[in-house]
Structure 1
Amino acid sequence: MASEQMAEGPEAGAPSPSSASSTSRETTLPPPRPLDAIDQDILRMLQADGRASIRSVAERVHVSRANAYARINRLVEDGVIRGFGARVDHERAGQGTSAYITLKIVQNSWRTVREQLRQLPGASHIALVGGDFDVLLLVHTSDNRALRELVLTRLQAIPEVLSSRTLLVFEEEDLEPQG
């Protein structure tokens, strides 16, 4: 499939990851538009295989290549598609320890804390939540020693973090489509 994309040239392949990720998170996006069945099919295909060529997407959803290309670009520009990336097996990539960490933070400090959490090595997902804690953080580290360093040194050094609780992950499964 990769050779098919290369042979078709950049216009015929899916938009490059850099084109989708070059937009900053703070960019003003247009109001959401309704997605039709073809858009939904395209999203499912790209979730399963982000490297699918425009030709294969167009054939599977029964539209022209130009139509498929325009739809994918619109989905990127509208912020529906936030980027293209690889699903990583963290254990095989040398990050065999995973944990969810719950944080209680100083009221109204979310934006400050979020920026500091983004800088943490191995931080994979950050969410502001409601309930008994304020933030849920997913991290992947090489081992328990690296996890301990991250929690006891890096997280506890953030002044707005009032407390944390670490939940070690024993096994995990990605529920996104597996192409």
Structure 2
Amino acid sequence: MANTLDATDLRLLKELKENARENIASLSKKLGIPRTTVHYRIKKLVEDGVIEKFTVKPDYKKLDLGTTAFILARYEPDSGLSQREVAERIAALEGVYEVHIIAGEWDLLIKVRAPSSEAVGRIVVDRLREIKGVGQTVTMVSFVTVKEEL
């Protein structure tokens, strides 16, 4: 699908990533194309699944979720669950924002947000490690986020 996008589609996507609420008229001016063309292209990008959804990017500090951590976890194959099932159980935990099945020494990469490092610890010790199929974990707390995309 990506190979069918032209330079205008890519510029439009870039503008929408920066501000999905920007109105059609403003986008039309920025891109130098008619408003009807902007509207059509956005509709087509949605229909083709290039744009999955329009969303917001919260300020997590203002939501008292200013601590971000990344957790590496090992999958225990003798748990009776598939790796995907374990990942789905982890994804259902409150405070978990991303779960990736990865290659390499570790099997899962998990992103969590919480009010403090102590709260991250409670997520890891009291909830994550209690999930059948989760083995060893390593937690890395982020000091600062330099770049993050939705």
TM bucket, shorter chain: 0.7 to 0.9
Tell me how many residue pairs correspond in the alignment.
147
Matched residues in 2 for 1:81 and 1:40: separation? 11
Matched residues in 1 for 2:75 and 2:13: separation? 36
Please tell me whether the aligned partners of residues 74 and 134 of structure 2 are also in contact (alpha carbons under 8 angstroms): yes
TM-score (norm 2): 0.87
Amino acid of the structure 1 residue aligned with 2:39: Y
Please tell me whether the aligned partners of residues 104 and 133 of structure 1 are also in contact (alpha carbons under 8 angstroms): yes
User: Of residues 143, 150, 166 in structure 1, which corresponds to 2:123?
Assistant: 150
Q: Which runs of 5+ in 2 are unaligned?
A: none
> Matches of residues 1-179 of structure 1 in structure 2 within 5 Å?
34-107=4-77, 109-176=82-149
Give the C-alpha shift of residue 32 in structure 1.
Answer: 5.3
TM-score (norm 1): 0.74
Q: Which runs of 5+ in 1 are unaligned?
A: 1-30
Please tell me whether the aligned partners of residues 90 and 131 of structure 2 are also in contact (alpha carbons under 8 angstroms): no
Give the C-alpha shift of residue 173 in structure 1.
Answer: 1.8
Residue deviations 1:37-76 (CA, integer Å, cap 9, x gap): 1100100100111111112112221222222111111111
Amino acid of the structure 2 residue aligned with 1:126: V
Matched residues in 1 for 2:82 and 2:33: separation? 47
Please tell me whether the aligned partners of residues 32 and 78 of structure 1 are also in contact (alpha carbons under 8 angstroms): no
Q: Which stretch of structure 1 is more off in the superposition, 41-50 or 110-119? A: 110-119
Q: Aligned with 2:124: secondary structure?
A: helix
Q: Aligned with 1:156: secondary structure?
A: helix
Pair 138,175 (structure 1): closer, same or farther in 2 beyond 3 Å: closer
Quote the RMSD (CA, aligned, Å).
2.0
Identity %: 30
Q: Which stretch of structure 1 is more off in the superposition, 55-64 or 41-50? A: 55-64
Matched residues in 1 for 2:76 and 2:52: separation? 30
